[in-house]
Amino acid sequence: EVQLQASGGGLVQRGGSLRLSCAVSGLIFEDHAIGWFRQAPGKEREGISCVSSAVLSTFYADSVQGRFTISRDNAKSMVYLQMDSLKPEDTAVYYCAIRRFICLPTMASSQYDYWGQGTLVTVSS
């Protein structure tokens, strides 16, 4: 059974940092790309970052470029999203998701096969 477990969310002030983690099990981790999505209240789910299976490529949405950093540890089957310079508009439920091999230039939920349960990030002003 494929499982993704996102964690690390919480309440942080504007300008602060958080690191999200996604633990993956039940498949060959090295063969898969991992994406992070977020969904704010009343808004559509947004793809914000992805790292490919061989870490040959990463993707960032314009909204997080320069502030967020995605990384993966294949030995631990973990993916991380370091979030710095957080803004109130970053408040959302954050999800990790998985697909085969590569990140596509435009992230869409339909491209991903398995999802974690989400972790809430709240940025206060």
Q: How far apart are the first and last CA of the chain?
A: 40
Radius of gyration of the chain from its Cα atoms, rounded to whole angstroms: 13
CA 27 to chain centre: 18
CA 121 to chain centre: 12
pLDDT in tens, 75-106: 999 999 999 999 999 999 999 999 998 999 88
3-state helix, strand, coil in the chain (%, to 5): 5, 50, 40
Cβ within 8 Å of residue 59, ≥6 positions away: 49, 50, 51, 103, 105, 107
pLDDT tens per residue across span 44-84: 999 999 999 876 789 999 999 999 999 999 999 999 999 99
